[in-house]
A and B are shown apart, each in its own frame.
Chain A
Amino acid sequence: MGKTLAEKILSTKSGTDARAGGMVVVPVDLVFVQDSTGPLTLRQLAELGIDTLKQPQRTVLFIDHSAPSPARELSNDHVFMRQFSRQKGGILSDVGEGVCHQRVAESWANPVEVIVGSDSHTTTAGAVGAFATGMGSTDIAVAIALGKTWFRVPETIRVKVNGHLHNGVYGKDLILHVIGAIGADGATYKSLEFGGEAIDKLGMSDRLTIANMAVEAGAKVGLFPSDKVTEEYLKLQGRPERYLPLGPDGDATYERTVEIDGELLEPTVSKPHTVDNTALARELKGVHIDQVFLGTCTNGRIEDFRIAARILKGRRAHAGTRLIVAPASQRTYLQMIEAGYMTTLVEAGGTVVPPGCAACLGVHQGVLGDGEACLSTANRNFKGRMGNPNAFVYLASPATAAATAITGEITDPREFL
């Protein structure tokens, strides 16, 4: 009997015949923390009484969630993480280097690996065919100390996308549509495995966006096959030797298959206050937006800013709408400068903030006021998410975000393409 992507990776890593419902202990190829969950992880590590890192060169400490620090308590958390890295080991990715998930994709993630991080959006690396998932601080402390973790092998929901996506429709629209269709708990505990003609044609940037948001349907992992697109991506990141082809078996057992006609998809938006509360962008025409936020681990890559810059070139953000721009990494920042997108976005009225999570989680760099609405390219719109429970967050693609910045109200980007 054939295997799903999750079963294949966990079989390889555990050296057993891993099947949905079974238990495995697997070595982790990469373990990481970030500054909002890292200090607790490091304290749990001390609590365990284990003072050495199993794999210091495969352990990364990211300072990205409040970088640079807006408060002395957070500065002290950062001091703690830097001291730990110096004294005990672990690679430090400090202020300005970027969001953990983007950095992991750029520098570490490979097909048929197990990656765990103390951040729910660790699923992002599923785009390159890694079994990557978020865990809490104690599980991550154990993975740092022992170099392994346990999993129940998840059942798999296959998302098969036929045809192709039309101009103006992106990976973000596809994943928002999927979450809207199956619900915010539609894939809880499960592996979401993407495939089909439209997925084969999708570039790595879109795949990363989709895998990033798999957790918003409750999924443990969001997995893509490792194919020509993966091979090309790894070559661009400077590690072509890490490419391994990976696909599900034709006779793999799926819990169910969600089939989507890619050609019917339109620009999609999640409305406050849950990600599965979706509508088409054109249905929300007239909804005023006070702030547009372009960036994050979901949509802060060079490809995202290219899309936004094309729409905003020679235009200006609406007088009543602030435009905040946050590159997901330092590499992205430099690429934006080189490509001229920085100039375009600043000329359009954008405010550029440092590479990192920025306004996404409500700590700094774009906290909303009472009654304000933000259209964000991030992954979460829960009540209180952007620092104020009396504010409203809409989620959409960079194209929808750029079009909305121009008009000041939610706008279908196809009006500008």
Chain B
Amino acid sequence: MLTGKVFKFGDNISTDLIVPGRLLHLRSNLPELAKHVLEDADATFAQRVKKGDFVVGGDNFGLGSSREHAPLVIKMAGVSAVLAKSFARIFFRNAINIGLPVLVCETDSFDDGDQLEIDLSAGTVRDLTNGAKLTFSPIPDIMLRILNEGGLVPYIQKHKDLVIPKGL
């Protein structure tokens, strides 16, 4: 069970808003880069976010570059899941690969500051502030397996190969 506070963002939160190119020189210094996470969307987010909190977006979260640094610094900031109505393809796959849950659900009912409780195995999100209860779309099977093993690196280490079980 994940619990934390909502940090609400709008539609089209690009990877340039999460980790802009002007901070390219910090990409090999992830702890320093993480201090700037989402800075151009919300200048005080990095200072206010606490371990376990949630980033909540609208449509097309994570559009743009393939930079895996984007989900990485969100995870490093302590965020336990990102919820959005839809995600850009590369961001979604990158987040799973580094072990950050990304959940597709209606997000209009969540307000900034609401307290959420997420049951990853049941697929449910409860807004403890306004009582709303939602389900999120199931994560595709292969991605769930990768996520459950902590990401693609541990998945490959365990299976010694890129194993896609038959029938997926």
Residues of A near any B CB (own CB < 8 A): 23, 25, 36-37, 39-40, 44, 47-49, 65-66, 71, 73-74, 76-77, 80, 117-120, 122, 134-139, 141-142, 145-146, 148-150, 152, 184-185, 188-189, 218, 220, 274, 361-363, 367, 380, 382-385, 387-389
Contact = CB atoms under 8 A, between A and B. Distances in A.
A66 B24 contact: yes
Given A139-B97, A184-B63, A23 B89 contact: no
Contact of A142 (B24, B66, B69, B162): B162
Contacts of B66: 37, 117-120, 122, 134-136
B88 A188 contact: yes
Given A39-B28, A382-B14, A138 B162 contact: no
B21 A363 contact: yes
Interface in B119-155: 140, 142, 151-153
Interface string B69-106: 10010000000000000111110011001100000000
A152 B168 CA distance: 10
A66 B59 CA distance: 31
A277 to B, nearest CB: 10
Nearest to A390: B40
Contacts of B162: 25, 142, 146, 148-150
B64 A382 contact: yes
A276 B117 CA distance: 35
A37 B157 CA distance: 22
A23 B168 contact: yes
Contacts of B29: 73
B52 interface: no
26 contacts: A23-B168, A25-B164, A40-B69, A44-B153, A74-B25, A117-B66, A120-B64, A135-B66, A136-B67, A136-B68, A136-B98, A138-B94, A138-B97, A138-B152, A150-B162, A184-B12, A185-B59, A189-B89, A220-B89, A361-B24, A362-B20, A382-B17, A383-B17, A387-B20, A387-B21, A388-B22
B16 interface: yes
B93 A136 contact: yes
Contacts, number: 147
Nearest to A69: B25
Contacts of A141: 153
Per DSSP, chain B at the interface is loop
Interface of B: 12, 14, 16-17, 20-22, 24-29, 40, 59-60, 63-69, 72, 86-90, 93-94, 97-98, 140, 142, 151-153, 156-157, 161-162, 164, 168
Nearest to B65: A120
A362 B140 contact: no
Nearest to A154: B89
Given A274-B12, A362-B21, A389-B40, A136 B94 contact: yes
Contacts of B14: 382-383
B108 to A, nearest CB: 17
Contact of B153 (A80, A138, A220): A138
A363 to B, nearest CB: 5
B52 to A, nearest CB: 24
Given A40-B27, A73-B26, A73-B28, A23 B164 contact: yes
Given A48-B157, A136-B90, A389 B60 contact: no
A146 B88 contact: no
B20 A389 contact: yes
A138 B24 contact: no
Contacts of B89: 188-189, 218, 220
* 7 A-B pairs closest in CB distance: A136-B94, A136-B68, A361-B21, A362-B21, A73-B25, A185-B60, A134-B66
A47 B72 CA distance: 15
A384 B67 contact: no
A152 B24 CA distance: 31
Nearest to A146: B162
Contacts of B98: 136, 138
Given A36-B24, A363-B21, A385-B20, 20 more contacts: A48-B157, A77-B27, A135-B90, A136-B67, A136-B90, A136-B93, A136-B94, A146-B162, A150-B162, A184-B12, A185-B63, A188-B89, A218-B60, A274-B12, A362-B20, A362-B21, A363-B24, A363-B25, A380-B16, A384-B22
